[in-house]
Structure 1
Amino acid sequence: MKNEYLEAIKLIERLHRQFLEVVKMELDRKGIEDINNIQALILFNIGSEELTVGELTNRGYYLGSNVSYNVRKMVENGYLVQERSAHDRRSIRVKLSDKGLELCEFVSDMFDRHATALGEAGGSPERLTESSQTYRELERFWMGLLNFGIRGGMPPV
């Protein structure tokens, strides 16, 4: 089990790095130089919502990246619009600008192209679902270790 566990960890890390490189390549191909791959994915995940920086951070999509820095850069480059919350003047909410919505659409189209190409290459929704279930099991296991200190077992679901 240990060898398979370590192989899975290495593969997850490698896949994540490769995915970010694919996003970077797509941005470069389109000539987009004022936003990086992480920022493009943050925009995609914001979508049509209006969120605080804290809400973005709490979603946990951006571990390993400085969300506040990325938000500031995306505001400077015209991808996000920042507004003070009407209910809590201390809180700043962000939403996509027209430029951000355009990039979000580009990323969505990219995912459509990738999904189509993966299907044509022999990938199947069932296998992806099975893989995702395994990733969720690992996530629950690791969260259990972090939150409950459980050893040798899965945390409660």
Structure 2
Amino acid sequence: MNEKLLYPSADFEDTALLRDVSHAVQSSPSRPDRDEVGDGRPITYFELARLMERASRRFSGLVRAELTKLGVDDIGAAQAMVLLAIGDAELSVAELLDRGHYVGSNVSYYLKQLADGDYIDRVASQRDKRSARIKLSEKGRRLRADLRDAAMAYERTLSRGDQDRRNLETAFQTLHQLELVWGSASRYGI
């Protein structure tokens, strides 16, 4: 693990979570052709972060294409991702912010577009009229179901067996641990 690239002055030997991430990455099956970035440089966590950002952009493009196939033209991929983040829950804006990587002003804009398109219902709090709870409307639940069906079709294409499933689980665990480490480091330092 090349933590020094991200945090050059930190002492990582005392951080249990970073050791867990390192162990997860080192114990995962690796193939020699994946140990380097395309130009011969070793894979680092910085390179992984760049790959995640590119993959996120590609996924947004995929969501936009699915919205087009479904005939949805009043919201974009970012708003569709908010619908997926809300799911079956009824939650506050603060809870929604915790579920995604939104800036507060962006999520307000997304929620306004979703409310204008009748994809969500906003219920004002009885205690505090300034705050509201958000849940999917029937239209939002239908779109969410359609997007999940499309995602399952792509997952069937990508997942060809038990090894692919294990690789997906390992990738998820590693990325989740990185999210925790980087989130803690940005809030509290190391």
Show CA shifts across 1:81-138 (max 9, x none): 1121234333212211111111011111112111111124997110011111221232
1:55 matched residue in structure 2: 95
Q: Aligned in 2, Cα 1:13/1:122: closer, same or farther, shift over 3 Å?
A: farther
Q: For residues 50-89 of structure 1, what are the structure 2 equivalents within 5 Å?
A: 50-59=90-99, 61-64=100-103, 66-89=106-129
Conserved in 2, the CA contact under 8 Å of 1:75 and 1:81? yes
Q: In the alignment, does 2:71 pair up with 1:31?
A: yes
Secondary structure of the structure 1 residue equivalent to 2:89: coil
CA distance in 2, matches of 1:46, 1:18: 22
1:155 matched residue in structure 2: none
CA distance in 1, matches of 2:185, 2:168: 26
Question: 4+ residue runs of structure 1 moved beyond 3 angstroms?
Answer: 120-123
5+ residue gaps, structure 2, are: 6-41
Aligned partner of 1:92 among 125, 132, 140 = 132
Conserved in 2, the CA contact under 8 Å of 1:42 and 1:62? no
Q: CA RMSD in A?
A: 2.1
Show CA shifts across 1:9-62 (max 9, x none): 221111111111111111112221011111111112212211122221133x13
1:7 matched residue in structure 2: 47
Q: In the alignment, does 2:169 pair up with 1:129?
A: yes
Rg: which structure is higher? Answer: 2
Structure 2 counterpart of 1:45, which letter? A
Q: Aligned in 2, Cα 1:54/1:140: closer, same or farther, shift over 3 Å?
A: closer
TM-score calculated relative to the size of structure 1: 0.84
Conserved in 2, the CA contact under 8 Å of 1:84 and 1:92? yes
Secondary structure of the structure 2 residue equivalent to 1:90: coil
Q: In the alignment, does 2:107 pair up with 1:106?
A: no
CA distance in 2, matches of 1:87, 1:93: 12
Q: In the alignment, does 2:185 pair up with 1:145?
A: yes
Secondary structure of the structure 2 residue equivalent to 1:100: helix
Does 1 or 2 have the higher relative contact order (CA < 8 Å, sep 6+)?
2
TM-score calculated relative to the size of structure 2: 0.71
Identity %: 34
Of 16-25 and 84-93, the range deviating more from structure 2:
84-93
Q: In the alignment, does 2:44 pair up with 1:44?
A: no
